[in-house]
């Protein structure tokens, strides 16, 4: 089961060797540590390239996205614990 969120968030990242690695994100004034990245994929939104990250934090999977054109991060979905 998942919940659609689609809210802008702040993300702490490491940019190295052409890779983007989220380390934590802040959503609704709470900081979530990224324990693991489980999946990465890219998409297009109009002319913008968007990077997507499925990350584990506190036993749930969060889908984060980064729009290269706008430099904005978003929390798209939360996959709840089973």
Question: Are the C-beta atoms of 78 and 64 separated by less than 8 Å?
Answer: no
Q: Quick one: pLDDT at residue 1? A: 87
Q: Quick one: pLDDT at residue 80? A: 81
Q: Quick one: pLDDT at residue 82? A: 54
Answer whether residue 81 shows pLDDT above 80: no
Residue 13's domain spans which residues?
2-79
5-20: pLDDT as tens digits: 999 999 999 999 989 9
For the entire predicted model, the pTM comes to 0.92
Q: What is the domain count for the chain?
A: 1
Q: Tell me how far CA of residue 25 lies from CA of 1, 22, 31, 44, in angstroms.
A: 22, 8, 6, 23
19-48: pLDDT as tens digits: 999 999 999 999 999 999 999 999 998 999
């Amino acid at each position: 089961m998942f919940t659609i969120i689609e809210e802008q968030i702040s993300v702490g990242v490491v940019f190295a060797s052409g890779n983007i690695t989220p380390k934590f994100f802040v959503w609704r004034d709470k900081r979530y540590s990224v324990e693991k990245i489980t999946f990465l994929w890219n998409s297009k939104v109009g002319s913008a390239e968007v990077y997507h990250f499925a990350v584990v934090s506190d036993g749930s999977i969060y889908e984060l996205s980064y729009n290269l054109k706008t430099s904005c991060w978003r929390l798209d979905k939360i996959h709840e614990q089973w």
